[in-house]
Amino acid sequence: MAEPVEEELGALAAIFCGPGEWEVLSRSEADSAVLRILTEAKGPAGDAAVPLELVFHLPAGYPSCAPGVSVGSERLTRAQRAAVREQLLERARSLPAEPMVHQLVLWAQQHLGRILAQAGPDAGPGPRPSAASTTGDEGLWMALLRLDHMRARARYVKAVRQWASDLGLTGRLMFLGRAILLLLQGRRDDIKEYLVLQKTCRVDVDASGKKCREKMLSVLFESQMQPEHARFPVFEVREYAGADELRGEFEAAGLQALFAEVVLGLLK
């Protein structure tokens, strides 16, 4: 991890030192860090302080490139959270290429009331373009994930559907026996944000029935989509009667090699 990032993490740990205010969720060679900060910000005039959960995804090139941001709060609607997130991302892109997480947190604390007043209770940015119409320098990306289990299946599936919709991702949530696979297509940044949501939100329950995060998620494959790969027009949840039926889904999408090299071994 780059020295400026290490120094920033140390400074943030000292600043947000209250119980539960700060947590590094993950570190890896591909990504500098994913971290979560719990704070409060002033709402519109006369309103009580609004609790905010800000998750920052620091990519490998950070701080030369801006971080990804996710916004959570039980006091805000989905549209309001989306508006805050878009404003934070715009602010991040405008800052110099130097450690900026603390600046972004302060900015959110100072400007939340204005953002909410402009967005209104139900307004917010329009839906993201679908993966089928998304273009960019990197083009479309694809990721295949494996989920260990779903105890609260109905709620879990609802959350996965909602995240995919919010982020403009298409693909399949696939069930075959005990195997649970998630194939996502879309912009690379949106897939990365999906992973942040998957790892940080309490979407399932543990053996005692308490809400818990997905701790057993594994990324089986991630790559830029190739010309031979078909794009899924929508996101769907499907159950398969057997391996041959699941193989047919992958073959129809031009992903027969992915099925043979990665998926088939999981089904034995």
Identify the pLDDT of residue 162. 83
Identify the pLDDT of residue 45. 66
241 Cβ partners below 8 Å, 6+ apart? Answer: none
H/E element, 84: helix 78-94
Identify the pLDDT of residue 137. 37
Would you list the domain boundaries of the chain?
3-119, 131-267
CATH code of domain 3-119: 3.10.110.10
Identify the pLDDT of residue 32. 67
Note the pLDDT tens digit of each residue in 92-132: 988 888 999 999 999 999 999 888 888 765 543 334 444 44
The number of beta carbons lying within 10 Å of the beta carbon of residue 37 is 20
- 208 falls in which pLDDT band (50, 70, 90)? confident
Q: pLDDT at residue 253 above 50?
A: yes
CATH topology of domain 131-267: Alpha-Beta Plaits (3.30.70)
Rounded Cα–Cα distance for residues 1 and 39 (Å): 26
Omega into 96 within 30° of 0, i.e. cis? no
Q: What is the arithmetic mean of pLDDT over 138-152?
A: 84
Identify the pLDDT of residue 146. 92
Q: What is the arithmetic mean of pLDDT over 12-35?
A: 81
Percent of the chain whose pLDDT exceeds 90: 30
Taking alpha carbons only, the member of 143, 137, 202 closest to residue 167 is 143
Note the pLDDT tens digit of each residue in 57-84: 887 778 888 888 888 888 888 788 888 9
Q: What is the arithmetic mean of pLDDT over 209-236?
A: 84
